[in-house]
Amino acid sequence: MERLSQIASQATAASAAPAKPAHPLDPLSTAEIKCLTNTVKSYYAGRSISFNTVTLREPTKKAYLQWKEDGGKMPPRLASFVILEKGVPGVKEGLVDIGTQSVIETRSLEQVQPILTVEDLCSTEEILRTHPDVIAQCVLSGVPANEMHNVYCDPWTIGYDERWGAGKRLQQALMYYRSDDDDSQYSHPLDFCPIVDTEEKKVIFIDIPLRRRKVSKHKHANFNPQDMIAKYGSMRTDATPINVTQPEGVSFKMDGNVMSWSNFNFHIGFNYREGIVLSDITYNDHGNVRPIFHRMSLSEMIVPYGCPDYPHQRKHALDIGEYGAGLMTNPLSLGCDCKGVIHYLDAHFADRSGEPITIKHAVCIHEEDDGLLFKHSDFRDNFATSIVTRATKLVISQIFTAANYEYCIYWIFMQDGSMKLDIKLTGILNTYVLGDDEDAGPWGTRVYPNVNAHNHQHMFSLRIHPRIDGDGNSAAMSDAKPSPFPLGSPENMYGNGFYAEKTTFKTVNESKTNYESSTGRSWDMFNPNKKNAYSGKPPSYKLVSSQTPPLLAKEGSIVSKRAPWASNTVTVIPYEEGRLYPSGDHVPQWSGDGVRGMREWTADGDANIDNTDILFFHTFGITHFPAPEDFPLMPAEPISVLLRPRHFFLENPALDVVPSHAMTTKQAKLATNLEIKSKTDSTSRLAFENTSSAGCCTRFTK
Ligand SMILES: *[C@@H]1O[C@H](CO)[C@@H](O)[C@H](O)[C@H]1NC(C)=O
Ligand SMILES: *[C@@H]1O[C@H](CO)[C@@H](O)[C@H](O)[C@H]1NC(C)=O
Ligand SMILES: [Cu+2]
């Protein structure tokens, strides 16, 4: 697992505290990381410690708002750290005040294991290649002993294995073979699974299946251009370039990490775990700055596999808590990951020794054309009376690689006040070797000769801290229901009545709800203390999300216990500091037993969530039954979650976006071509004519 990272300059520790950032939610700078790790090293002087994670401890909502809205002081810069001490089981964690360069809190935890960093994963392959028992297994699988350099492993978190529990820091190594450096290993899985102790750098066990399967003798299923040319003679030649240009530059402004775009204003943060974090999202409604969301992020994920055969049941990566959407984030490049005029943000972490690591261009910020925003034409004059307004969207994105899979995360803002979270799943299927005479079903699919891709789900937990029109928020579900009155009754004589049934959640227990397609269920976050002057309804943001499969692992299973957030589409809880990670703070090797994360936060089922400070958790995702089209590299599969303003504005808030074309009835009658030309129109032209066209009204002739 290689990645482009650069070690920041290793300046010696400054004795003065690093400069404070402009904004209290700004991620730790490399200078702050250096200061933090030096502070921790001197605190543990003489002991052999290594760093696991360091990150900003964000100020509480109260402290933040005192700074932001009440002219209060900048809250102290606090950063949390997780470290390991050689030979000492468990983890140590604590808090450093960067301003005073002092450790202000520490805690030792046993029977928990911290996140696996990319560094932890990278060390595993070499350990395996030289281990005699692994070599012996390779030989049994059909890989000659002199080909160990062609043996690879994807080190996975072990999930939870009852034989070792959480006492040792473990990885399970999913084994593969490449005949050549450039081969894709996933068409050549090996049938055994070594267990590696991450800290001791030792193979402690090898899981060997009862039925042995030899490594495939088929050609590797590769996907690079040279492979396609070798196979088909050429690449596809029919696509002409599409250029994205913004001749006048971008329409967003950034002040440090604070974004202003089309009436939206918010802070863009980034951390090792959640990756992108959006905070303090407000909307300037003609001079009235209205808060919408205090904070929003992906708080956890789970990718449970559906093959019950040992040891495949262990495959259920909680990628955010076990590897980190930040730690695994890709450095992005101009013109391929995002196209157009791009602004990037870098991400900073610490390596095991405490030195800062920088991922360049971790966050991509750009705008895209988004088709039509709205349109109307009048049929009376042959559609000459017409208004057409095109949409621009703002996209904040990152891409992270979880071993074989890629997750492309797009946080999208739209000019009508709505927001979207789009995720594209791509990369490579996790695969296992399939015997020549073996059927992959029902738990998987034969996607290539000797390749079994197991059924699995990709489930995400979106954590939203709403602050719609200020403090005191509630949540409700909305179901489309037919009138309760029977056909022929005075209240529903013709039987056509239907309405939206809104159920406001009073308690945590009431909020635990699931998607219901028969009623087109959606959810609202709203401010019950305010009213829309027209509709009389409280200003709200509606969550529209229908890619919400149920978790298919049984209740009581390890998978279901370790993802206590995944068994409901929506769960609403009271806000409290520290309620960030719904599978707990230290996820690897958690058995799923005991009270933590979402299980802890929902323990009081009676807790009030109506007209208070609430956290709204939304589980969404897909169930993936692999098919040959997903292999050897999967075309991106989209998932989309929409948040729309409802009863928040008095009219379509985007009416003041300059239209591409607008002609009133009077103008059409005069037949003066008074259309407002859009800025992009001059680049549009007819496909099969050389002359550029007059625009969108040429069909109207008097
Ligand atoms: C469009 O992009 C292509 C490929 O990047 C480039 O060669 C070409 O010059 C561009 N054309 C224009 C009109 O900018
Ligand atoms: C909440 O729901 C759980 C599980 O359905 C139940 O055990 C518990 O008694 C409920 N609590 C309250 C206060 O209703
Ligand atoms: Cu998948």
User: How confident is the model over 86-119, as pLDDT tens digits?
Assistant: 999 899 999 999 999 999 999 999 999 999 998 8
Cβ 314 vs Cβ 172: under 8 Å: yes
Whether ligand 1 lies within 6 angstroms of the CB of 10 is answered as no
User: Could you identify the atom of ligand 2 that is nearest to the CA of residue 604?
Assistant: 13
Ramachandran assignment for 502, one of left (phi > 0), alpha (psi -120 to 50 degrees), beta (any other): beta
Whether ligand 1 lies within 6 angstroms of the CB of 635 is answered as no
CATH topology of domain 253-646: Beta-galactosidase; Chain A, domain 5 (2.70.98)
Cβ 544 vs Cβ 644: under 8 Å: yes
Considering the candidates 154, 319, 524, 681, report the single residue annotated as catalytic.
Answer: 319
Cβ 542 vs Cβ 478: under 8 Å: yes
H-assigned helices in 296-349? 319-322
- Say whether 604 is catalytic: no
Given this chain, do its domains 2-109 and 118-232 carry the same CATH topology? yes
**What one-letter code names the amino acid at 3?**
R
Query: What pLDDT was estimated at residue 691?
Result: 56
Q: What is the mean pLDDT of residues 468-479?
A: 98
Find the 337 Cα to ligand 1 centroid distance in Å.
17
Q: What is the mean pLDDT of residues 484-500?
A: 98
Q: What is the mean pLDDT of residues 1-19?
A: 48
Question: Following DSSP, what letter does each residue of 406-439 receive, concatenated?
Answer: EEEEEEEEETTS-EEEEEEEEE---EEE--TT--
Q: Where are the domains of the chain?
A: 2-109, 118-232, 253-646
| HSE-up of residue 561 (Cα within 13 Å, Cβ side) | 12
Cβ 285 vs Cβ 263: under 8 Å: yes
Encoded tokens for 176 = 């593969």
Q: Is the pLDDT of residue 52 over 80?
A: yes
Q: Is the pLDDT of residue 678 over 70?
A: no
Identify the CATH assignment for 2-109 out of 3.40.50.920, 1.20.58.220, 3.40.50.720, 3.10.450.40.
Answer: 3.10.450.40
Q: Whose CA is nearest to atom 2 of ligand 1?
A: 243
Query: What pLDDT was estimated at residue 580?
Result: 98
Tell me the pTM: 0.94
Q: Whose CA is nearest to atom 14 of ligand 1?
A: 243
Query: What pLDDT was estimated at residue 7?
Result: 34
Strand spans (E) along 324-385: 343-350, 356-377
Contacts of 534 (CB under 8 A, 6+ apart): 650
| Three-state secondary structure call for residue 229 | helix
Chain-wide mean pLDDT for the chain? 93
Find the 366 Cα to ligand 1 centroid distance in Å.
19
Pocket probe mutation, ligand 2, options 508, 509, 600, max atoms within 8 Å of Cβ:
509
Identify the CATH assignment for 118-232 out of 3.30.450.40, 3.10.450.40, 3.30.210.10, 3.20.20.450.
Answer: 3.10.450.40
For residue 356, cis peptide bond before it (omega within 30 degrees of 0): no
Question: Distances in Å between the alpha carbon of 199 and those of 169, 171, 462?
Answer: 6, 10, 32
Whether ligand 1 lies within 6 angstroms of the CB of 517 is answered as no
Query: What pLDDT was estimated at residue 671?
Result: 66
**What one-letter code names the amino acid at 369?**
D
Burial (Cβ within 10 Å: 0-12, 13-18, ≥19) of residue 680? middle
457 pLDDT tier (thresholds 50, 70, 90): very high
672 pLDDT tier (thresholds 50, 70, 90): low
pLDDT in tens, 318-352: 999 999 999 999 999 888 899 999 999 999 999 99
Q: What is the mean pLDDT of residues 577-603?
A: 97
Of 657, 626, 464, 600, the closest CA to residue 545 belongs to: 464
Considering the candidates 405, 407, 410, 448, report the single residue annotated as catalytic.
Answer: 405
Ligand nearest to the CA of 244: 1
Find the 360 Cα to ligand 1 centroid distance in Å.
26
Find the 529 Cα to ligand 2 centroid distance in Å.
28
- Say whether 575 is catalytic: no
Q: What is the mean pLDDT of residues 146-152?
A: 96
Encoded tokens for 484 = 């309760």
User: Could you identify the atom of ligand 2 that is nearest to the CA of residue 602?
Assistant: 1
